[in-house]
């Protein structure tokens, strides 16, 4: 422990406002990208000397394409929570629900972004839960100028770790149309009624009957259980119990998380009957 | 850049990494508060182009070209916005530090959102109120009166007295007070109703006289017993009430502390050269630069209550986070950078974190270098700070006589007081080069006294004062910042500020003492206790501040509440290399009450006796002696106000009639009821002193001066009510100056629940003397005898004549000038006062010594539903009966009870400082869960009908004690619901779930993550 830092990032001497991809060249070990800032400014960052503000890219927050929904990394939770319900997507309700799973208040929604939440890669990140649960695809802008797409379940690799390396940023998340047209049920539990998530489970039953359960919040990375059709209770329970990525932290003990996951999974299974 | 704040343009450029909160405060918008700096508490909420944000995590440069609105932009004290007015009317605050952000956030809610308040306000934390009053504010419920004057001249928000203080229906639909709550002021002459009045010989009347008072002394305006609003209300809701750090000081330096990474280490060397060479650094302090006087950060009336084991900076660090050095610089950023440049070499020493091992041979000694007698440490060679051992009767015989015995060991956790305002001090030298400290403290006079000792500076050369303090709860009965600022000011000659962070509060500011209590009870088959045996171990951490006090308090009223012929206590308070423990609401008592009341529930189960009945059978009665391990001293008595029987009846009847809230459907939900009782002495033992003065100034306004700090305790309101009642005026007409070592001679401080019953008595004495003096002055002026004059808000009245207060004040001044005045003295119970005319008016000064203590009771009951699949506990009904004596201000007192219950629920269910090898992982509010609105149910609060002989007007203290019975009542309800006894706090969902698992349940391999 050195000194506990004040809220101002006093070591930061330069903030570059990104307007084009070339501006990302400033990124490096001591220069970090950020979007809303609610996570970055909420923690000491004494190793940083510079920042690159991604909000100034002015990417369109939400774009509906023939293939589904493209969510800019800089889309705020407030914008996402207001996603219009005009396209008949059965999964629509889960966007708002997952915003409520953020510990931060609705005022944090006004600045916190989808990409920022996923890039922080905390187990309790509800945007990770959401986009992983909907089989979202992350688009990464590599530092070398290349683009790379990967499932969110592969993007987040562990507690606070992900596929980004220095100089990379998360550009967008794409939710496939089939996911949006799926029936979806979500459950969240914390150690308090509206507390930081101890578990977030998303169940999805696709038009082709594919059943996907995504367990997050209580596992160091999102874990998916995938079935060609809705599994029976015993099978789902056994598979949840077989997950080996549980962890203990102040938001819940691993054994509790594991056991309660079976309860929530079964509730989801029944809701998606 | 250019932006505007509340309509006024500002042209200034923030630093690149600066957040909007600090930028606004740099521009003297002090209405924007700091609570957490992590976007969790909401105290810093502002609107940016109408959109609410947490300004602590909002980059300042993004405000460029935008309109920022703070709480001060929503309305002013004279022209409050509707939301602000509602917060005043509802008394929707206590300390008020969260209120600015709360009001800003509430101002944005519309339509359906007001029906989703727990979610909408989850990012606005209040540590004081328990949220009911905030709920009321948002529902437009009025709970207070603005004035004691007749309705036509009172404030617009005044509400009908009959509903204003009693039968409030809150937004969530349940009744607030007991039907018996709104009671009148005791009739004159009733026990505790007022002062015993006599005068010293004086020039006009001649001779010695005891006044036979047959005429009313005032025009009959009643202030006490009413839900008078806080004098600061309008300023608080509009952001205009300045707190500790809410002043602009030119040339201010900032102080940052380097803290230890090691739990136990000797500092071999500190190379400060690089730090000192950094431009903007003014001074660097290490252990070589500070006095070698040992002290305790804990402050009490009697400084020997706590061991002298602390140095401002020590060559040995004994816990992770202990001060190593500090830097004073032109900015926080420079001071932080300089701290990073300090090159410290440590010799790491072995450490012990387990209090149960603290006394074993070979365990690292934390204070082996101290002299036991000089430092008042029981045994430094075995890490023993203090111990208490005693036996009354014979435990062996008592247990042998028992038909049933129960036993168990209960463990409590570390809890952070976490007042919303972190500790902070600004210091400077005044025109006479005297050290002035404006600090966030409950005990400015004790800080002054101790700093004088540590720094070897004459006490007259130190002034300590507080502005309104943003919450305390015991956490500010400590020197945490003042010593550093004092040193920095004295060395640099410049003003210096030190502001602690929320992480400091959660990792290094002393926490509630964790205690392990083993309780064995024996009873006969008819439910009579034959033995109470308590063994308790308290972990004081690396320093002994409040260690002995909390240990003794913990083992006091928790045991003496029940009669048993045989009692035994074996208690130890030990050093470890954990963060220090300290004072927090309840002061140890709640920890042991958790054990005793859990054991009582086990006994009720074992005997198959109703838990209320078992307690009634064994409860100490008004004519019983109070016994822990011997009969308590003469200073403690029930003072005619025994109320435990009423508490049991009120709580039980509320539980029996239920509140109609049903358990969730489904077989997994199990329902149970639990009860627990708590007893507390009304004030600390061995003296608590207060002085107060009231002056009728030449402008005809009363100036009320008292020493007690206001940090949401509401005592300023009560003191104003007492003075107004005595002087026949209304509280809002008084000018108040308080908690300043320059304002009154002395006040021990605002702790031990002493605000109303000690300082209140000093105010009563002073006001009583002044009233008498004013009548005498009127007699001199008019020839009409003094006792024919009645005091009213505008002057003294007799028959059809009015003598304006200005004329009385002028007459007093004239008498003083002519040296014709003499002193009028009076005495009240344990208090004295004297009044005399001065050139500036007529002043009375009163003092009170809290030599005698009374007893108050609280009984908490819960009905809960427990989900056996998940461990979730839902509180269906929460009831607290409180024995507060005469209730001076029903709405405020209700708020104290509700706030205590809310902190009790936090302790019972959610809060825990998690320490691993001395390192605290719950270092931010994301991982240390302070109760949110969603977590706190409505509590039905019932007051007993009692009146105390000691407290003013029959009042008793009611601030710490509501906390104490909450955890065991909840644990007992859970036990009754699920059939398994909890032994550990908090009763978090994972712990409750685990209680239900078979003992041989498989443990799983899992990683442990740091808190985030």
* B436 φψ region: left (φ > 0), alpha (ψ -120 to 50), beta (else): beta
Q: Which of B57, B113, B874, B907 to mutate to test the interface with A (most CBs of A within 10 A)?
A: B57
Alpha-carbon distance A177 to nearest alpha carbon in chain B (angstroms): 31
* Nearest Cα residue to B231 out of B126, B155, B159: B155
Residue B791, min C-alpha distance to chain A (Å): 52
3-class secondary structure, A34: strand
Q: Is B670 exposed, middle or buried (0-12, 13-18, 19+ CB in 10 A)?
A: middle
Given a contact cutoff of 8 angstroms between Cβ atoms, the answer to whether A8 and B254 are in contact is no
Give strand pairing partners of A51. Answer: A15, A32
Crossing angle (nearest 10°) for helices B644-657 and B611-618: 170
Confidence of residue B151 (pLDDT cuts 50, 70, 90): low
Examine the pLDDT at B160 and tell me if it is beyond 50: no
Distances (CA, A) of B289 to A74, B310, B480: 50, 15, 18
The whole-angstrom separation of Cα B326 and Cα B336 is: 9
The pLDDT confidence band at residue B685, using thresholds 50, 70 and 90, is: confident
Please enumerate in sequence order all residues whose Cβ is within 8 A of that of B233, keeping only pairs 6 or more positions apart, or say none.
B87, B88, B91, B93, B144
**What size, in residues, is chain A?**
273
Contacts B1009 to A, Cβ<8 Å: 123, 159, 220, 247-249
Strands annotated E in B682-823? 689-697, 702-706, 735-738, 790-791, 795-798, 801-804
Q: What residue in B sits closest to A38 (Cα-Cα)?
A: B57
B39 vs A contacts (CB less than 8 Å): 38, 41-42, 104, 108
For A16, list phi and psi in degrees, rounded to 5. -95, 130
Average pLDDT of the segment spanning B698-707: 96
- Continuous H helices in B610-743: 611-618, 644-657, 715-727
Query: Could A255 and B1003 be called an inter-chain contact, meaning their C-beta atoms sit closer than 8 Å?
Result: yes
How far is Cα A106 from Cα A112, in angstroms, rounded to an integer?
Answer: 10
Touching A: B residues 22-61, CB under 8 Å:
22, 34, 37-40, 42, 45, 51-54, 56-59, 61
Q: What mean pLDDT, rounded, does chain B reach? A: 92
In angstroms, the CA B315 to CA B337 distance is 22
* Average pLDDT, integer, range A152-162: 97
Q: How far apart are CA B533 and CA B520, in angstroms?
A: 5
Mutate to test the interface with A, among B1, B13, B16 (most CBs of A within 10 A): B16
Burial class of B699 by CB neighbour count within 10 A (0 to 12, 13 to 18, 19+)? exposed
The number of beta carbons lying within 10 Å of the beta carbon of residue B701 is: 17
- pLDDT at B171 exceeding the cut of 90: no
B320 touches chain A (CB under 8 A): yes
Q: How far apart are CA B895 and CA A223, in angstroms?
A: 46
pLDDT of res. B483? 98
Nearest to B1011 among A39, A106, A250 (CB): A250
**CA B945 to chain CA mean position, Å:** 25
| CA dist list (Å): B421 to B142, B401, B472 | 27, 53, 8
Interface size A-B, in CB pairs within 8 Å, comes to: 233
Beta-carbon separation of A194 and B118 below 8 A: yes
What string of H, E and C letters represents the secondary structure of B32-43?
CCCCCCCCCCCC
Nearest by CB to A4, which of B56, B501, B934? Answer: B501
Res. B654: pLDDT tops 90: yes
Task: For residue range B529-538, list pLDDT tens digits in order.
Answer: 999 999 999 9
Q: Is the dihedral of CA B499, B504, B508, B510 positive or negative?
A: positive
User: How far is A194 from B872, CA to CA, in rounded Å?
Assistant: 12
First to last CA, chain B: 34
d(CA B364, CA B999) in angstroms, rounded, equals 34
Distance of alpha carbon B303 from the chain centroid? 20
pLDDT band at A4 (very low <50, low <70, confident <90, very high): low
Angle between helices A233-242 and A254-271 (to 10 degrees): 150
Q: Helices (DSSP H) in B569-625: which residue ranges?
A: 589-607, 611-618
A121, A125, A130, A135 alpha-carbon torsion, rounded to 10°: 20
Largest interatomic CA distance in chain B? 92
Residues in chain B closer than 8 A to A243 (CB atoms): none
Q: Nearest CA of chain B to the CA of A260: how many Å?
A: 6
- Chain A positions touching B259 (Cβ under 8 A) are 1-4
What distance in Å separates the CA atoms of residue B901 and residue B965, rounded to the nearest whole number? 9
Rounded to whole angstroms, the Cα distance separating B770 from B808 reads 12
CB contact at 8 A, B29 and B100 = no
For chain B, which domains are there?
2-143 (3.10.20.30), 253-349+417-507 (3.90.1170.50), 386-416+512-620 (3.30.365.10), 636-682+853-883+901-942+961-1012 (3.30.365.10), 688-847 (3.30.365.10)
CA torsion through residues B981, B982, B987, B989, sign: negative
Check B870 against A160: CB less than 8 A apart. Answer: no
**For chain B, percent of residues with pLDDT exceeding 90:** 87
Is residue B552 pLDDT above 80, yes or no? yes
Torsion angles phi and psi, residue B967, rounded to 5: -60, -50
Phi, psi dihedral angles at B312 (to 5 degrees): -55, -50
Q: How confident is the model at residue B215 (pLDDT cuts 50, 70, 90)?
A: low
**In the predicted structure, residue B172 carries a pLDDT above the cut 80:** no
B232 pLDDT higher than 60: yes
Q: What is the mean pLDDT of residues B122-143?
A: 97
* B1006 interfacial to chain A (CB closer than 8 Å): yes
What are the DSSP E strand ranges found in B685-823? 689-697, 702-706, 735-738, 790-791, 795-798, 801-804
Predicted TM-score (pTM) of this structure: 0.94
Contact flag A15-B61 (C-beta cutoff 8 Å): yes
One-letter-per-residue 3-state SS of B530-565: EEEEEEEEEEEECCCCCHHHHHHHHCCHHHHCECCC
Between CA B35 and CA B42 the distance in angstroms is 7
Closest CA to B434 of B467, B404, B463: B463
How far apart, in whole angstroms, are the C-alpha atoms of residue A91 and residue A134? 9
Q: A207: distance to nearest CA of chain B, Å? A: 31
Domains of chain A listed by start with CATH number:
14-54 (no CATH), 61-178 (3.30.465.10), 183-271 (3.30.390.50)
DSSP letter for each residue of A158-199: ETTEES--TT-EEEEEEEEHHHHTSEEEEEEEESSTTSSEEE
- A124-145 pLDDT per residue, tens: 999 999 999 999 999 999 999 9
d(CA B500, CA B911): 21
Residue-wise pLDDT tens digits, B287-332: 999 999 999 999 999 999 999 999 999 999 999 999 999 999 999 9
Confidence of residue A87 (pLDDT cuts 50, 70, 90): confident
Q: What is the pLDDT of residues A205-232, one digit of tens each?
A: 999 999 999 999 999 999 999 999 999 9
Cβ contact, residue pair A7, B37, below 8 Å: yes
pLDDT by residue (tens digit) across B77-126?
Answer: 999 999 999 999 999 999 999 999 999 999 999 888 888 999 999 999 99
Q: Residue B274: is its pLDDT beyond 90? A: yes
Q: Tell me what pLDDT residue B822 has.
A: 85
Residues in B touching A198 (Cβ below 8 Å):
989-990
* Higher-pLDDT residue of B832, B153: B832
How far apart, in whole angstroms, are the C-alpha atoms of residue B773 and residue A222? 77
Identify the three-state secondary structure at position A239: helix
Report the distance separating Cα B468 and Cα A64, nearest Å: 53
Q: In this structure, are residues B824 and B767 in contact, taking their beta carbons and an 8 Å threshold?
A: no
Helix segments in B329-387, DSSP class H: 332-341, 372-375
Instruction: Give residue-wise pLDDT tens across range B861-918.
Output: 999 999 999 999 999 999 999 999 999 999 999 999 999 999 999 999 999 999 999 9
Provide the edge-to-edge strand list for the sheet that holds A62-65.
Answer: A62-65, A68-72, A169-176, A137-141, A147-151
Residue B161 has pLDDT above 80, yes or no: no
Say yes or no to pLDDT of B64 above 50: yes
Q: Which residues of A are less than 8 Å from B124 in CB distance? A: 105
Does B574 have pLDDT greater than 70? yes
**For chain B, how are helix, strand and coil distributed in percent, rounded to 5?**
30, 25, 45
State how far the Cα of A216 lies from the Cα of A246, in Å rounded to an integer: 9
CB within 8 A of B554, min separation 6: which ones? Answer: B513, B515, B536, B538, B571, B587, B588, B589, B591, B592
Q: Do A220 and B1009 touch (CB under 8 A)?
A: yes
Q: What are phi and psi of B397, to 5 degrees?
A: -65, -40
- Cα–Cα distance, B447 to B751 (Å, whole number): 13
Q: Give percent of chain B above pLDDT 70.
A: 93
pLDDT at B220 (0 to 100): 79
- Taking contacts as CB-CB distances below 8 angstroms, the residues of chain B near A8 are 15, 17-19, 22, 332-333
Residue B353: pLDDT band (50, 70, 90) is very high
More confident residue, B1004 or B137: B137
H or E element in which residue B25 lies: helix B20-26
pLDDT over threshold 60, residue B190: no
Least confident of A198-212, B193-207, B275-289, B932-946: B193-207
């Amino acid at each position: 422990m050195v000194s506990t830092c004040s809220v101002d990032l006093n070591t930061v001497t330069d903030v570059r406002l990104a307007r084009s991809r070339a501006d990302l060249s400033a990124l490096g070990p001591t220069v970090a990208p950020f979007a809303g800032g609610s996570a970055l400014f909420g923690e000491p960052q004494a190793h940083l000397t510079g920042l690159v503000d991604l909000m100034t890219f002015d990417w369109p927050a939400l774009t509906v394409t023939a293939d589904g929904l493209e969510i800019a990394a800089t889309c705020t939770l407030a914008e996402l929570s207001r996603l219009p319900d005009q396209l008949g997507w059965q999964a629509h309700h889960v966007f708002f629900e997952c915003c409520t799973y953020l510990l931060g208040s609705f005022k944090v929604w006004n600045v916190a972004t989808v990409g920022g939440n996923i890039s922080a890669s905390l187990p309790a990140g509800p945007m990770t839960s959401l986009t992983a649960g909907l089989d979202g695809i992350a688009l990464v802008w590599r530092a070398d100028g290349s683009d790379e797409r990967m499932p969110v379940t592969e993007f987040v690799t562990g507690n606070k770790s992900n596929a980004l390396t220095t100089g990379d940023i998360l550009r967008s998340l794409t939710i496939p149309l089939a996911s949006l047209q799926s029936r979806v049920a979500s459950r969240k539990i914390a150690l308090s009624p509206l507390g930081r998530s101890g578990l977030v489970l998303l169940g999805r039953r696709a038009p082709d009957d594919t059943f996907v359960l995504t367990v997050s919040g209580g596992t160091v990375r999102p874990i998916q259980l995938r079935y060609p059709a809705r599994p029976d209770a015993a099978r789902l329970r056994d598979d949840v119990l077989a997950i080996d990525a549980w962890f203990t932290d102040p938001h819940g003990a691993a054994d509790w998380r594991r056991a309660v996951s079976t309860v929530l999974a079964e509730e989801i299974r029944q809701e998606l009957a | 850049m250019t932006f505007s704040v509340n309509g006024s343009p500002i042209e200034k450029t923030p630093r690149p990494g600066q957040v909007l909160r600090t930028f606004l405060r740099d521009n003297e918008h002090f209405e924007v508060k700091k609570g957490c700096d992590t976007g969790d508490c909401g105290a810093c909420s502002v609107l940016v182009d109408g959109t609410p944000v947490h300004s602590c995590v909002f980059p300042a440069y993004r405000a460029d070209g935008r309109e920022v609105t703070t709480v001060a932009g929503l309305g002013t004290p004279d022209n409050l916005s509707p939301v602000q007015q509602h917060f005043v009317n509802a008394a929707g605050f206590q300390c008020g530090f969260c209120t600015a952000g709360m009001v800003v956030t509430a101002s944005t809610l519309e339509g359906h959102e007001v029906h989703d308040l727990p979610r909408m306000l989850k990012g606005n934390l209040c540590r004081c109120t328990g949220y009911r009053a905030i709920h009321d504010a948002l529902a437009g419920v009025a709970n207070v009166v603005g004035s004691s004057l007749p309705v036509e001249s009172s404030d617009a928000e005044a509400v009908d007295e009959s509903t204003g203080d009693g039968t409030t229906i809150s937004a969530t639909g349940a009744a607030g007070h007991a039907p018996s709550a709104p009671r009148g002021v005791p009739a004159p002459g009733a026990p505790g109703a007022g002062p015993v009045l006599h005068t010293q010989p004086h020039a006009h009347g001649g001779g010695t006289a005891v006044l036979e008072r047959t005429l009313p002394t005032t025009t009959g305006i009643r202030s006490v017993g009413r839900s008078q609003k806080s004098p600061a209300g309008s300023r608080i809701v509009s952001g205009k009430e300045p707190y500790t750090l809410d002043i602009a000081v030119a040339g201010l330096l900032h102080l940052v502390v380097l803290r230890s990474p090691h739990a136990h280490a000797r500092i071999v060397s500190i190379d400060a050269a690089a730090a000192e060479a950094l431009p903007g650094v003014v001074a660097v302090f290490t252990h070589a630069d500070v006095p070698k006087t040992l002290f305790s950060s804990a402050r009490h009336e009697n400084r020997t209550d706590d061991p002298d084991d602390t140095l401002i900076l020590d060559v040995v660090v004994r816990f992770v986070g202990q001060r190593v050095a500090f830097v004073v610089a032109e900015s926080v950023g420079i001071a932080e950078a300089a701290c990073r440049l300090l090159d410290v070499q440590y010799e790491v020493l072995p450490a012990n974190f387990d209090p149960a091992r603290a006394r074993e041979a070979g365990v690292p000694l934390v204070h082996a270098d101290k002299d036991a007698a000089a430092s008042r440490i029981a045994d430094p060679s075995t890490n023993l700070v203090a111990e208490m051992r005693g036996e009354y009767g014979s435990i062996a015989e008592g247990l042998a006589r028992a038909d049933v015995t129960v036993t168990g060991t209960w463990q409590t956790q570390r809890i952070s007081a976490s007042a919303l305002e972190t500790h902070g001090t600004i210091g400077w030298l005044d025109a006479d080069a005297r050290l002035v400290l404006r600090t966030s403290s409950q005990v400015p006079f004790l800080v002054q006294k101790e700093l004088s000792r540590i720094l070897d500076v004459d006490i007259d050369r130190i002034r300590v004062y507080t502005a309104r303090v943003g919450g305390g709860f015991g956490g500010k009965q400590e020197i945490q910042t003042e010593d550093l600022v004092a040193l920095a000011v004295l060395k640099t000659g410049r003003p210096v500020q030190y502001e602690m962070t929320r992480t400091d509060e959660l990792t290094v500011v002393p926490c509630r003492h964790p205690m392990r209590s083993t309780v064995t009870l024996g009873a006969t088959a008819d439910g009579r206790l034959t033995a109470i045996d308590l063994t308790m171990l308290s972990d004081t951490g690396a320093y002994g501040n409040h260690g002995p006090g909390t240990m003794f308090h913990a083992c006091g009223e928790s045991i003496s509440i029940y009669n048993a012929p045989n009692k035994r206590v074996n208690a130890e308070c030990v050093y470890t290399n954990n963060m220090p423990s300290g004072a927090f609401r309840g002061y140890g008592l709640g920890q042991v009450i958790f054990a005793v009341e859990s054991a009582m529930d086990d006994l009720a189960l074992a005997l198959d006796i109703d838990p209320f009945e078992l307690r009634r059978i064994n409860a100490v009665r008004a004519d019983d002696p109070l016994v822990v391990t011997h009969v308590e001293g003469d200073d403690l008595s029930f003072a005619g106000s025994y109320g435990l029987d009423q508490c049991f009846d009120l709580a039980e009847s509320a539980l029996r009639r239920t509140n109609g809230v049903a358990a969730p459907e489904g077989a997994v939900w199990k329902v149970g009821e639990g009860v627990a009782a708590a007893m507390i002495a009304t004030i600390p033992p061995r003296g608590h002193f207060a002085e107060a003065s009231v002056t009728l100034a030449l402008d005809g306004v009363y100036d009320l001066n008292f020493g007690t700090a206001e940090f949401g305790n509401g005592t300023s309101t009560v003191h104003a009510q007492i003075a107004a009642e005595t002087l026949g005026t209304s509280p809002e007409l008084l000018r108040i100056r308080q908690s300043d070592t320059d304002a009154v001679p002395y006040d021990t401080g605002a702790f031990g629940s002493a605000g109303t019953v000690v300082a209140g008595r000093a105010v009563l004495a002073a006001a009583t003397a002044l009233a008498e003096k004013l009548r005498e002055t009127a007699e001199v002026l008019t020839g009409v005898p003094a006792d024919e004059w009645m005091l009213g808000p505008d002057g003294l009245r007799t028959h059809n004549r009015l003598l304006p207060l200005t004329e009385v004040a002028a007459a007093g001044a004239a008498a003083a000038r002519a040296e014709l005045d003499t002193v009028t003295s009076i005495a009240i119970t344990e208090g004295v006062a004297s009044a005399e005319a001065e050139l500036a008016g007529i002043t009375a000064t009163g003092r009170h010594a809290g030599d005698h203590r009374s007893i108050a009771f609280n009984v908490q009951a819960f009905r809960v539903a427990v989900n056996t699949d998940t461990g979730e506990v839902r509180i269906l009904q929460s009831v607290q009966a409180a024995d507060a004596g005469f209730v001076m201000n029903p709405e405020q007192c209700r708020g104290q009870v509700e706030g205590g219950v809310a902190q009790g629920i936090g302790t019972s269910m959610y809060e825990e400082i998690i320490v691993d090898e001395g390192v605290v992982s719950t270092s931010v509010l994301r991982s240390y869960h302070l109760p949110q609105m969603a977590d706190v149910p409505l509590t039905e609060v019932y007051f007993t009908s009692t009146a105390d002989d000691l407290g003013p007007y029959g009042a008793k203290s009611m601030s710490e004690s509501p906390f104490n019975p909450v955890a065991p009542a909840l644990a007992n309800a859970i036990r009754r619901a699920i059939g398994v006894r909890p032994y550990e706090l908090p009763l978090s969902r994972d712990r409750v779930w685990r209680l239900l698992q078979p003992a041989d349940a498989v443990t799983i391999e899992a990683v442990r993550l740091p808190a985030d």
